Amino acid sequence: MLDTSAFLAGLNPFVSGEEQITTPKVMQEVKTNSLIQLRLRTALKHGILTVKIPSMDSLAEVNVAANKVGDSFFLSDTDKQILAVAQELKMSGYQPKIVTDDYSIQNVATQLKIEFCSLATLGIRSILIWVRYCPACYREYAPEYNLKECAICGTKLKRKVKSNPEKGTS
Ligand SMILES: [Zn+2]
């Protein structure tokens, strides 16, 4: 299971021997980086990478777990898709492992008893700093900011990578 940060940090699906799965939303989020997109398309074509859509049931289970640990605020729809697909795989007897540096994903994965590992354990040392921002007035928000909407104009916040080793991903 690969989240957006894994791909943006330069994870190459070809170097790992294991079957890799991601979700439609992750594919959407990496669209802005043509190099990574090309890499993923090639991986898809060769069957190294699979895109899976989670069921409503597994998404609901993720929401329950996220509420329990108080992380719902910090999970994007993309994060929830990743957790939900992992939950589905687990229920079908697989042992999915989520590759992510996102603490909220890790926290909810622990609650769901899903394994995860950070990018560093895969030898990827670059650290991504996510920043939440308002797409309307471009105000940036600290991680402690507890609301999903912009305090100034009420627009739903988005997140982007603040520092990135690969160019062109904002
Ligand atoms: Zn705003």
86 contacts 75 by C-beta, under 8 angstroms: no
pLDDT at 163: 54
Identify the sign of the CA torsion 119, 120, 124, 129.
positive
pLDDT tens digits, 93-138: 888 888 887 888 888 999 999 988 887 666 655 555 667 889 999 8
pLDDT value of position 80:
93
pLDDT one-digit tens code per residue, 24-75: 888 888 777 777 888 888 888 888 888 889 999 999 999 999 988 887 878 8
Ligand 1 centre distance from Cα of residue 161 (Å): 18
If you measure from the C-alpha of residue 157 to the centroid of ligand 1, how many angstroms do you get, rounded to a whole number? 8
Token pair for 99: 């590759």
**How many angstroms separate the alpha carbon of residue 75 from the centre of ligand 1?**
20
Interval between CA 155 and ligand 1 midpoint (Å): 5
Residue whose pair of structure tokens reads 């600290």 in the numeric block:
142
Whether the pLDDT of residue 13 is over 80: the answer is no
132 CA to centre of ligand 1 in angstroms = 11
Q: 143 and 108 in one domain?
A: no
- CA 150 / ligand 1 centre spacing (Å): 5
Contact (CB, 8 A) for 170 and 138: no
The 10 Å Cβ neighbour count of residue 38 is 10
Residues 6 or more apart in contact with residue 53 via CB below 8 angstroms: 23, 24, 81, 85
Give the range of the structural domain holding residue 21, as residue numbers without chain letter.
4-122
Residue 154 above 90 pLDDT?
yes
Q: Are residues 118 and 136 in the same domain?
A: no
Question: Taking the CB of residue 44, how many other CB atoms lie within 10 A of it?
Answer: 15
| 169 occurs within a structural domain | no
**The two structure tokens encoding residue 67:** 């509420």
What CATH number is associated with residue 54?
A: 3.40.50.1010
Nearest in space to 85 (alpha carbons), one of 13, 158, 25: 25
Between residues 143 and 123, which one has the greater pLDDT?
143
How many angstroms is it from 19 CA to the middle of ligand 1?
Answer: 40
Residue 168 placed within a domain: no
- C-alpha of residue 129 to centroid of ligand 1, in Å: 21
How far from the centroid of its chain's Cα atoms is residue 80's Cα? Answer: 8
Number of domains in the chain: 2
Neighbours of ion ligand 1 (CB under 5 A): 134, 136-137, 150, 152-153, 155
76, 146: one domain: no
Confidence band, pLDDT 50/70/90 cuts, at residue 168: very low
Cβ 87 vs Cβ 114: under 8 Å: yes
